[in-house]
Structure 1
Amino acid sequence: MTKHQKRLSVPKSWPVERKEETYTTKAAAGPHGEEGVPLLIVLRDVLGYVDSKKEARYALEQDSVLINGKAVSDERRPVGMFDILAFVEREEYYRVFPDEGGRLSLTPIDEESAGSKLGKIIGKTQVTGGDTQLTLHDGQTLLVDDASEYDANDSIVVSNDDGEVVAHFTYEEGALVTAVRGAHAGQIGTIDEIQVTPGSSANNVLIEGDDDRFETVEEYVVVIDENFTDGGDGE
């Protein structure tokens, strides 16, 4: 299977110039599905820390590049929304956050904030033993004791060290949110109204932003904390 992908066909969220060259690196299988951006693109095209795949591989061999607290050795490892990137030797830390064009961008954060990651709950199932398994937007799963505390579309902050939930943001009117896809990707505001649509159609969400009021579908909305807009950890 090829490890290259045509630039013109990459997802809109990828931070690459589509017309500079014909091909770019293809993401390996992993978190975030097709939306995941290969780490090489972040290192080379976004940050400029390396000039080639060979340099990226050498850098990763030093175990000083972490994603969500774990050292990464594969330059094709997918990076996606709300991942935490840590460059230990440089003492630099970033949160992956959608910008207003829908592209994934890097928000500088402090070392303490890099210890945990935001996740949107997209599934909740009962498992053997009575625990509840939560599935997050990037495919991560974790077990919780109290099923009633969490619902789909809520957001949680998970510790990178032990996988424990350290903060919980409820999806409800009045919650601070960001749109992560669609025409309003990257915009932040407060939920004014959740319009429940009968049948299988998506629910609409009316959001009051700083400058305007906009509407998007529920799938594109993620609850955040005000600290996520200024480099804080959401706690």
Structure 2
Amino acid sequence: MKRHLKRLAAPATWKIPRKGFKFIVKPSPGPHAQERCLPLLIVVRDVLGIAQYAREAKKAIKKGEILVDGVKRKDYKFPVGLMDIIEIPKLKKFYRVSIDHRGRITLIETSEKERNLKICKIRNKTYVKGGKIQLNLHDGRNIVVDKDIYEKNSSLLITVPDQKIKKYLPLKEGMTAFVLGGKYKGQVARISKIDGKEVTLKNEKNESFITPIDKIIVIGEAEPEIKVL
């Protein structure tokens, strides 16, 4: 497997300069598809501009100066994806991974109050020993729960890194969602109808549209639980 890819061939979702060094680092294998994540080095150097050169970014990462979801990540190729929290303690800066209206991965600055909060979409659930249920989340996490009250495609508001569930955000009419794909990607909208594998939503401009369930993530009830834009 190649360790690098050509900058011009990088996914269109990567919000990076297309001119410059010919090659760019690839993310390590992980829960996020390549077009849905960025290597930590790219986040530090190209997106946040904390370092000018790769060696500077690698040094900061290796020293544990960059936290992802409250954990020091020392692999400069570590894949950073949707809803992850990037924390830089030395600068007292906090960022959440989101997407913009063009579907590109972006980082939005957030508050210290939200640095331990994350919303995860339930991709699947399985039954494990002892009659318990394992929830498989979009970022590769697995959380074991006692009660079978959580449904696929709904979301959890959790704390990181301890993975404690603060709130269950079910997929149902009236809930607020963040759109991940299609014409209305990068928008916050209210779910007005659920029909099989599709949902109808209404955005802030009062426009109604239909999109597949796998193109949204529930982020709150009347209002988003966290900042995503």
Q: TM-score, normalising length from structure 2?
A: 0.91
What amino acid is aligned across from residue 112 of structure 1 in structure 2?
Answer: K
Alpha-carbon shift at residue 229 of structure 1 (Å): 6.0
SS at match of 2:55: helix
Alpha-carbon shift at residue 21 of structure 1 (Å): 5.3
Change (3 A) 1:213 1:157: same
Could you say which residue in structure 1 is the equivalent of 2:86?
85
Counting only pairs closer than 5 Å after superposition, residues 66-81 of structure 1 correspond to structure 2 as: 66-81=67-82
- Sequence identity (%): 33
Q: Which moved more, 1:212-221 or 1:66-75?
A: 212-221
Q: Is the 8 A contact 1:113 1:231 kept in 2?
A: no
Counting only pairs closer than 5 Å after superposition, residues 150-189 of structure 1 correspond to structure 2 as: 150-189=150-189
SS at match of 1:41: helix
Distance 1:229 1:133 in 2: 24
> Are 1:30 and 2:27 an aligned pair?
no
Could you say which residue in structure 2 is the equivalent of 1:208?
202
> Are 1:111 and 2:109 an aligned pair?
no
Distance 2:135 2:19 in 1: 40
Could you say which residue in structure 1 is the equivalent of 2:212?
217
Q: How many correspondences in the alignment?
A: 225
Could you say which residue in structure 2 is the equivalent of 1:192?
192
Could you say which residue in structure 2 is the equivalent of 1:200?
none
Q: TM-score, normalising length from structure 1?
A: 0.89
Q: Is the 8 A contact 2:98 2:228 kept in 1?
A: no
Q: Is the 8 A contact 1:7 1:21 kept in 2?
A: yes
Distance 1:9 1:140 in 2: 30
> Are 1:120 and 2:121 an aligned pair?
yes
Per-residue CA deviation, residues 93-128 of structure 1 (Å, 9 max, x unaligned), is 111111111111112111221112110001010011
Alpha-carbon shift at residue 74 of structure 1 (Å): 1.1
Return 5+ residue gaps in structure 2 as ranges: none
Q: Which moved more, 1:136-145 or 1:2-11?
A: 2-11
SS at match of 2:56: helix
